[in-house]
């Protein structure tokens, strides 16, 4: 029998705020244990939470970027479970009225655009971090209370690779929107993976297994690549699957049942009485919408379509937003986007990297690149001259035309002068001239070289070729 995998992902990402979700402690990675803490995020007796407005704004913004609805009413709930890293032994989250619902993410997968639907993206507080020793565990609450967005997908994913590409696309969107730095090394993104399998053609879902706390995308890919065949083999050998929570052991390369989930749990969600409901006003949402940015995929497609540049170039401008923005300004009013893209990517980007400068530190504006390409296109300077102009621009700023004038880089396109240089060259080199006349046209390059030399590089090379040909082959 042929089986198919049905996979949904719950992606948790830490929001890019200065302070925590419900208190003023710094949202900062890497501090000494239990130093970014206060009575509120330690769950001391008597404390109360006050929500961080920026976290709520970033949640709504995520909603817009993931094509979600941002409902008129949302609220916080308590999710009750005892665990050492949960400071109050309940977590503040959003249960039945989350801040955003029903959206989707489109992303490139193979040669196609795939869509994974988003069930919801809700706001909650992160928990502390458990450190494990031989005999004991130790809890650090620095992370407790950091605003965490949980993005729940529909089970629209059918393979490990698709999950991997979805996660990367999601990450790009969150970084693009300034919602999260998504630094995997710092644990800013974590995933729970829900996996079931079913015979192809069957519509009802199989028994769901949840793999918790994955902290790398490649781990997610490996875990799915392990878990799907495990489930299929279990079914094929006549076994049954139990709905359970499993843990991915990256070293062993396998999933295993989580023991900590053996004790009875029942989250007993109920509305958080310490927090008032949310009814975002139109003005508040309008403020959030001002931060909506173009998504990476849309940007790539637009660059390819509007500027007719290769996909590879478009990807550079998606990956480096400020470079892409610079390119767009340079291209404005120009007919040669492709050449401008080349200059921006091959020259400008390279020089920026080399000199460790950012685009804001440039001594010239995007219009200088447009002008440079224009004067090369009309033959006013050669490509080589162009390089010289660019170097000068990069080092000292100015306008390309002024640099050309100052350095005498303009090409000679005057036919009288060119005619003279060409006749001189033919007269001085009868051998090659005869060769051309006799059909060995390659010999013209030698004559061209002589003309360029005589003109000290200023002769327009294309016109030199044309003139020589006319004189020799008439």
Q: Which residues contact 199 (CB under 8 A, 6 or more apart)?
A: 1, 2, 3, 4
Longest pairwise C-alpha distance within the chain: 102
The single residue among 80, 215, 334, 342 that binds other proteins, judged by CB under 8 A, is 80
HSE-CB at 169 with a 13 A cutoff on CA atoms is 24
Distance separating alpha carbons of residues 291 and 272, to the nearest angstrom: 29
Within residues 7-46, the interface with other proteins by CB under 8 A covers 17-19, 23-26, 32-39, 42-46
- Which is nearer to other proteins, 212 or 437 (by Cβ)? 212
- Shortest Cβ 241–other proteins spacing (Å): 21
The reply on whether position 425 binds other proteins by CB under 8 A is no
- Which is nearer to other proteins, 50 or 428 (by Cβ)? 50
Which residue in this structure is represented by tokens 């999710």? 79
- Token pair recorded at residue 195: 């996996």
Are 7 and 163 contacting, i.e. CB atoms less than 8 angstroms apart?
yes
- Which is nearer to other proteins, 260 or 308 (by Cβ)? 260
Q: What is the 3-state secondary structure (H, E, C) of 238-299?
A: CCCCCCEEEEEECCCCEEEECHHHCCCCCCCCEECCCCCCECCCHHHHHHHHCCCCCCHHHH
- Token pair recorded at residue 263: 């004790």
Query: What sign for the dihedral angle of Cα 263, 269, 273, 274?
Result: positive
Q: What DSSP designation does 30 have?
A: S
Task: Print the binding letters for residues 254-283 with other proteins: x by CB under 8 A, - otherwise.
Answer: ----xxx--xxxx-xxxx-xxxxxxxxx--
- Which is nearer to other proteins, 56 or 188 (by Cβ)? 56
The single residue among 12, 64, 78, 105 that binds other proteins, judged by CB under 8 A, is 78
Q: How far is CA 159 from CA 99, 165, 328, 451, in A?
A: 29, 10, 37, 64
Distance separating alpha carbons of residues 303 and 322, to the nearest angstrom: 14
Within residues 195-254, the interface with other proteins by CB under 8 A covers 247
The reply on whether position 72 binds other proteins by CB under 8 A is no
- Shortest Cβ 175–other proteins spacing (Å): 19
- Specify which residues 249 forms β-bridges with: 254
- Shortest Cβ 179–other proteins spacing (Å): 13
- Shortest Cβ 269–other proteins spacing (Å): 8
- Shortest Cβ 83–other proteins spacing (Å): 7
Residue 79: is it exposed, middle or buried by C-beta count within 10 angstroms (0-12/13-18/19+)? middle
Within residues 44-63, the interface with other proteins by CB under 8 A covers 44-56
The reply on whether position 368 binds other proteins by CB under 8 A is no
The single residue among 7, 61, 87, 170 that binds other proteins, judged by CB under 8 A, is 87
Range 118-128 burial, b when 16+ CB lie within 10 A, else e: bbbbbbbbbbb
Are 112 and 297 contacting, i.e. CB atoms less than 8 angstroms apart?
no
- Which is nearer to other proteins, 45 or 333 (by Cβ)? 45
Size of the site for other proteins (CB under 8 A): 74
- Shortest Cβ 147–other proteins spacing (Å): 9
- Shortest Cβ 295–other proteins spacing (Å): 25
The single residue among 111, 133, 438, 456 that binds other proteins, judged by CB under 8 A, is 133
- Which is nearer to other proteins, 89 or 417 (by Cβ)? 89
HSE-CB at 445 with a 13 A cutoff on CA atoms is 2
Question: Which range in 112-120, 125-133, 222-230, 231-239 contacts other proteins by CB under 8 A?
Answer: 125-133
Question: Which range in 102-110, 131-139, 309-317, 328-336 contacts other proteins by CB under 8 A?
Answer: 131-139
Helices (H), 158-261: 160-176, 217-236
Are 215 and 189 contacting, i.e. CB atoms less than 8 angstroms apart?
yes
- Shortest Cβ 255–other proteins spacing (Å): 13
- Shortest Cβ 219–other proteins spacing (Å): 15
- Shortest Cβ 396–other proteins spacing (Å): 42
- Specify which residues 4 forms β-bridges with: 198
Q: How far is CA 307 from CA 201, 215, 290, 314, in A?
A: 43, 38, 26, 9
- Which is nearer to other proteins, 141 or 164 (by Cβ)? 141
- Which is nearer to other proteins, 1 or 283 (by Cβ)? 283
- Shortest Cβ 392–other proteins spacing (Å): 45
Question: Which range in 126-134, 395-403, 407-415, 422-430 contacts other proteins by CB under 8 A?
Answer: 126-134
């Amino acid at each position: 029998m042929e089986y198919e995998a049905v996979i949904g992902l719950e992606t948790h990402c830490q929001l890019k705020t200065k302070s925590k979700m419900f208190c003023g402690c710094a949202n900062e990675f890497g501090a000494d244990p239990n130093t970014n803490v206060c009575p509120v995020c330690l769950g001391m007796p008597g404390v109360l939470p006050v929500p961080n407005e920026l976290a709520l704004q970033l949640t709504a913004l995520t909603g817009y970027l993931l094509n979600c609805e941002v409902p008129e009413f949302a609220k916080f709930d308590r999710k009750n479970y005892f665990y050492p890293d949960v400071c109050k032994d309940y977590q503040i989250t959003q249960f039945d009225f989350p801040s955003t619902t029903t959206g989707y993410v489109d992303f490139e997968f193979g040669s196609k655009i795939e869509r994974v639907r988003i069930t919801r993206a809700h706001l909650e507080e992160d928990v502390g971090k458990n450190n494990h020793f031989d005999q004991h565990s130790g809890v650090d609450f620095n992370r407790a209370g950091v605003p965490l967005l949980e993005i729940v997908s529909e089970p629209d994913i059918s393979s490990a690779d698709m999950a991997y590409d979805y996660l990367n696309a999601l990450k790009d969107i969150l970084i693009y929107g300034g919602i999260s730095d998504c630094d995997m090394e710092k644990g800013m993104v974590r995933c729970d993976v829900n996996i079931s399998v079913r015979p192809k053609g069957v519509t009802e879902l199989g028994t769901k297994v949840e793999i918790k706390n994955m902290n790398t995308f490649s781990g997610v890919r490996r875990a799915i690549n392990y878990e799907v065949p495990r489930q299929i083999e279990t079914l094929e050998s006549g076994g049954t699957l139990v709905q359970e929570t499993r843990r991915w052991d990256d070293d062993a390369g396998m999933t295993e049942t989580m023991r900590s989930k053996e004790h009875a749990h029942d989250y007993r969600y109920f509305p958080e009485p310490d927090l008032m409901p949310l009814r975002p006003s139109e003005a508040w949402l309008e403020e959030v919408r001002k931060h909506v940015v173009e998504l990476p995929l849309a940007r790539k497609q637009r660059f390819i379509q509007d500027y007719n540049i290769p996909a590879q170039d478009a990807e550079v401008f998606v990956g480096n937003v400020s470079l892409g923005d610079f390119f767009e300004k340079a291209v404005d009013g120009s007919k040669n986007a492709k050449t401008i893209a080349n200059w921006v990517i091959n020259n400008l980007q390279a020089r920026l990297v080399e000199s460790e400068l950012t685009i804001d530190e440039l001594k010239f504006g995007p219009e200088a690149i447009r002008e440079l390409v224009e004067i090369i296109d009309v033959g006013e300077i050669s490509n080589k001259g162009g390089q010289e102009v660019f170097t000068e621009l990069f080092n000292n700023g100015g306008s390309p035309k002024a640099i050309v004038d100052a350095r005498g880089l303009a090409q000679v396109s005057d036919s009288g002068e060119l005619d003279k240089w060409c006749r001189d060259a033919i007269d001085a080199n009868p051998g090659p001239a005869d060769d051309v006349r006799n059909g060995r046209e390659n010999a013209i390059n030698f004559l061209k070289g002589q003309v360029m030399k005589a003109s000290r590089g200023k002769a327009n090379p294309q016109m030199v070729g044309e003139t020589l040909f006319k004189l020799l082959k008439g």
